[in-house]
């Protein structure tokens, strides 16, 4: 059985429209997860190690002020379009749209005030919580009134996140959760002793602004071949990599499938990622620099977490050969990702 509790987490600043931010605590015998009504943020996720000791394995903040300040999307649902859109421009049905540029020459994770920075309306479920919001036509430059539902449910060691959306005008949409994980426990200095594997035969090479070039490249014989588990630190050294921030191309199926795994041998903690999405962005927190103080006043240096963000391919709205990212009136966007936490 999953226990669901709600409590007040804080009050939004007046200039942000005020409003109460709630925290929802979902608890099973092996996992406890805390989710905020601001940005549908996973603020904490505690899981057992092989000795039965609980640790929080996601980065974040103890107070609301951390989340209302500038931070790299810790734990948040990002949208309307996660990842990057080249030059913040796209054309739908012959009309060109221009978005705010917030990542060099590109638009990233929904723009200046994306889904991560707004309050959602919560509804408690027997085993979780469903968040709803209406993103109005023209918000951040995107067309159409977009109704969005994000539902978190916990069953034993499995956390499911379902994303649904409906629109009044054709719009690009790509939703993901941007949780930063460290299975040694948040605040641990790096993730070099983690074993990572990703079930992908190809990946997307990017230009110097992190926009895919359009090529779909094989992972065979490259540093991107993660089909067998690699120890992350040794792998980065071997290939002289600064880290990963790349989309891995998954088997194109709408069905649930296992797409990635992380394992931390010292604690025995393991996490599987299953999804219906066509891609997964593997990011090794290359832009963390120790300047942010997180939970328990710890700092978060570079490579102190990893993200496995299930999503559509970056800049798909401008690349017709990529999986379709347009949602049309009368259709429903519906994707689910499952994180399965265990000890081995």
Could you list the active site residues?
178, 309
316 appears as a binding residue in the annotation: no
For 32, counting Cβ atoms within 10 Å of its Cβ (0-12 exposed, 13-18 middle, 19+ buried), the class is middle
CA distances to 6, 44, 208, 295 from 63, rounded to whole Å, are 16, 12, 35, 8
Minimal CA–CA distance to 152: which of 218, 100, 75, 206? 75
The tokens describing 108, both together, are 């990233």
DSSP state of 192: T
Cα 1 off chain centre by:
26
Task: State yes or no: 179 annotated in a binding site.
Answer: yes
State the DSSP code for 186.
Answer: T
Is 245 known as a binding-site position?
A: yes
Q: Residue 10 pairs with which residues in a beta bridge? A: 21
Rounded to 5°, the CA angle 259-130-169 comes to 80
Query: Does the annotation list 137 as a binding residue?
Result: no
Q: Is 285 assigned a ligand-binding role in the annotation? A: no
What would the two tokens of residue 29 be? Answer: 């015998």
* DSSP one-letter string for 88-131: GEEEETTEEEE----BTTBEETTSTT-GGGSB-EEEEETTEEEE
How remote is the C-alpha of 221 from its chain's centroid? 28
Give the whole-angstrom CA distance, residue 277 versus residue 334: 10
Q: Is 152 annotated in some ligand binding site? A: no
Backbone phi, then psi, for 45, in 5-degree steps? -145, 110
Binding residues for beta-D-galactose: 83-84, 178-180, 245
């Amino acid at each position: 059985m999953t226990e669901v509790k709600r409590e007040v987490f804080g009050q939004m600043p007046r200039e942000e429209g005020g409003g109460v931010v709630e925290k929802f605590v979902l608890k099973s015998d092996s996992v406890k997860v805390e989710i905020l009504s601001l940005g549908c943020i996973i603020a904490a996720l505690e899981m057992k190690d092989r000795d039965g000791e609980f640790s929080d394995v996601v980065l974040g903040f103890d107070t609301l002020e951390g989340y209302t300040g500038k931070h790299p999307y810790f734990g948040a649902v990002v949208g309307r379009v996660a990842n990057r859109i080249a030059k913040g421009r796209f054309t739908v049905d012959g009309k060109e749209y221009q978005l705010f540029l917030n990542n060099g020459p590109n638009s990233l994770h929904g723009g200046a005030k994306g889904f991560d920075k707004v309050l959602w309306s919560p509804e408690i479920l027997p085993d979780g919580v469903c968040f709803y919001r209406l993103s109005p036509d023209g918000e951040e430059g995107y067309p159409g009134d977009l109704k969005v539902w994000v539902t978190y449910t916990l069953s034993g060691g499995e956390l499911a996140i379902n994303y649904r959306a409906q629109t009044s005008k054709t719009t690009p949409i790509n939703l993901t959760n941007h949780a930063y994980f460290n299975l040694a426990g948040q605040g641990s200095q790096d993730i070099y002793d983690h074993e990572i594997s990703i079930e992908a035969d190809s990946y997307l090479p990017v230009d110097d602004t992190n926009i895919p070039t359009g090529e779909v490249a094989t992972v065979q014989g490259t540093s991107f071949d993660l089909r067998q588990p690699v120890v992350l630190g040794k792998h980065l050294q071997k290939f002289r990599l600064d880290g990963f921030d790349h989309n891995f191309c998954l088997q194109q199926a709408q069905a649930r499938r296992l797409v990635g795994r992380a394992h931390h041998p010292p604690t025995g903690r393991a996490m599987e990622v299953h999804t219906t999405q066509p891609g997964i962005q593997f990011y090794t927190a290359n832009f963390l620099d120790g300047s942010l103080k997180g939970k328990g006043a710890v700092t978060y240096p570079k490579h102190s977490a990893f993200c496995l963000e299930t999503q559509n391919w970056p800049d798909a709205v401008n690349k017709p050969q990529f999986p379709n990212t347009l949602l049309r009136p009368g259709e429903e966007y519906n994707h689910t990702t499952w994180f399965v936490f265990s000890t081995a």
